[in-house]
Copies of this chain bind each other. A is one copy, B any other.
């Protein structure tokens, strides 16, 4: 046990209460000018407000005060993983995002499609932001055309979005101490792919050599492309494998999420995936269907974040009101611990993820309720105080009767 993680060694690995974690992505917000209300304060949420009367409230900092998290670390923290100690490289996160099943030892990297001029100098680091379809066609040609010289190595290549591509190598010992080749400016050639100095390690030399082979063949295949004729590497990450929530917390977990990225992060910590629903409500239905068979359920709802990133205050309010209608269905499942929170804030006023503390609600028979409202202001004076997100799993386990006493 350290201050950096949930106290795994206090976990009681026998039977215990069932935990349901409902994440409204990007839940936290900022006040609008007209009446000083945040999105959650403006939303009509009778079911969440009634739930608050039986819950402990608080706020959480996803990583640390002032730190804006990406979706990967924000969810890892909610799952009880210190997001600083357990980092997912950008490449690995992208691979998870496209639904690829990473295995320990895989080397994942993020590529940009780019435009090079006749002298091999970078003209556009994002190849004019191609459409997904345009990028997909180029990726297909690379996938079919490239045969790596090292026959023990397999590669997997996926378009992510616009100019962003994910490449995974598998099969030999591969290091990720490799320099990124994106020069971060135009008018210069891409940097050479090589192991980081000083003291390059042999496994990273291997990665660099395989990637140079890949690049050389790609260059030839794309020589006639007018725009998408180059590749820039942005982030090498060897995927090490994470300890599972079953091993750490004795929880058999299942994720219910419409978007692949969130299923990916859940899979990273060993949760099962209930399916690939094609609507938000489909995820709720999958939760209902599978509730009895697992100890821990993660239900993810993307819309509040999406509307926040659109800068659509009213749209985010409406998205939250939709979530409110599901609360009676979640309560009907009768979890021992029901947590409603966000992974981070996405204020419509900012149109991006932010660092602001996120509303947190924890219902259990051992709660200390403070009133009948769930929003930033009510949470600020709640019984849980302001905690770091990585402690939320400790709180869930404690309220579920799954943690032993520390010391005599």
Q: Does A7 contact B (CB under 8 A)?
A: yes
Contact, CB under 8 Å: B355 / A368: no
Q: Does A121 contact B (CB under 8 A)?
A: no
CA A93 – CA B406 in complex, angstroms? 13
Q: Does A69 contact B (CB under 8 A)?
A: yes
Query: How many A residues have CB within 8 A of the partner chain?
Result: 71
Contacts A376-B383, A384-B65 hold; do A407 and B70 have CB atoms under 8 A apart?
yes
Mark the stretch among A199-207, A250-258, A327-335, A387-395 that contacts chain B. Answer: A387-395
Which A residues from 1 to 51 make CB contacts under 8 A with B?
A: 1-4, 6-7, 10, 30-31, 36, 38
**Chain B contacts of A406 at CB under 8 A?**
63, 67-70, 73, 83
Mark the stretch among A141-149, A316-324, A397-405 that contacts chain B. Answer: A397-405
CA A96 – CA B82 in complex, angstroms? 35
Give me 9 other A-B pairs in contact (C-beta within 8 A), A64-B394, A356-B366 excluded: A2-B84, A59-B385, A65-B395, A71-B408, A355-B394, A355-B395, A357-B383, A368-B376, A385-B386
**Chain B contacts of A93 at CB under 8 A?**
407-408
**Chain B contacts of A64 at CB under 8 A?**
3, 7, 391, 394
**Chain B contacts of A69 at CB under 8 A?**
405-407
The CB with the most chain B CB atoms within 10 A, among A64, A353, A382, A407, is that of A407
CA A74 – CA B399 in complex, angstroms? 19
Binding site for B on A (CB under 8 A): 1-4, 6-7, 10, 30-31, 36, 38, 59, 61, 63-74, 82-84, 87-88, 90, 93-94, 347, 349-350, 352-357, 366, 368-370, 376-377, 380-387, 391-399, 403-408
CA A355 – CA B394 in complex, angstroms? 10
Contact, CB under 8 Å: A366 / B354: yes
Taking the nearest CB of chain B, how far is it from the CB of A125, in angstroms? Answer: 17
Taking the nearest CB of chain B, how far is it from the CB of A163, in angstroms? Answer: 16
